[in-house]
Structure 1
Amino acid sequence: MKYPERIKALRQDNDLNQKQIAEILGVAQTTYSQYELYKRPMPIECLMKLCDYYNVSADYILGFTDNPKLRS
């Protein structure tokens, strides 16, 4: 699974909309939408914020593991 699919799934699993996540990341909703659509690369700072917010590892979001809790 590529990270755009993973961040969309995490958002939907937590009953959030794109605008809510965009506010957490400090970006416009349209920018966040482009991350989910793989039309714009997501900055590392946003990846870090999403990891903290969802309490998952970067490896999980990036698709290197299917275990969301492999965090040190």
Structure 2
Amino acid sequence: MTFGERLKELREDNDEKQKDIADLLFVSNKVISDYERGIHFPRDERIITTLANHFGVSIDYLFGITNIKNHTYSNDFLIVFHSLTPTQKNEVIDFMQFLATKNN
């Protein structure tokens, strides 16, 4: 998914108009329209971080690099996981696989 597609999806999921996002970023409606249609791309770090914070997603998600909206759980998991012994890591993986099959 492209940045423009992701922006439009997030905006619509939040029941917001292009004007709402334009006002948030202090840009014109046309700029938001151009972003969503893939004509232009934000080059200003402030715009990128404001959008990510506004929608509560990671920058990677906003840019379509990942489908994980927020890496909070992933980061927390990795920090703890790396502190485990190899045996504990295998137990965690086995348990996660068990939980995943239980949901299907």
TM-score norm. by structure 2 comes to 0.65
Aligned length: 72
Q: Structure 2: where are the runs of 5+ without partners?
A: 76-104
Q: Which residue of 2 aligns with 1:51?
A: 52
State the 1:66 CA deviation: 0.4
Runs of 4+ in 1 over 6 A off after TM superposition: none
Q: Which residue of 2 aligns with 1:68?
A: 69
Secondary structure of the residue aligned to 2:35 is helix
Q: Which residue of 2 aligns with 1:21?
A: 21
Instruction: Map Cα deviations across residues 24-44 of structure 1 (whole Å, 9 max, x no partner).
Output: 011001111101111111123
Q: Structure 1: where are the runs of 5+ without partners?
A: none
Q: Which structure's CA Rg is the greater one?
A: 2
State the 1:45 CA deviation: 2.1
Identity %: 35
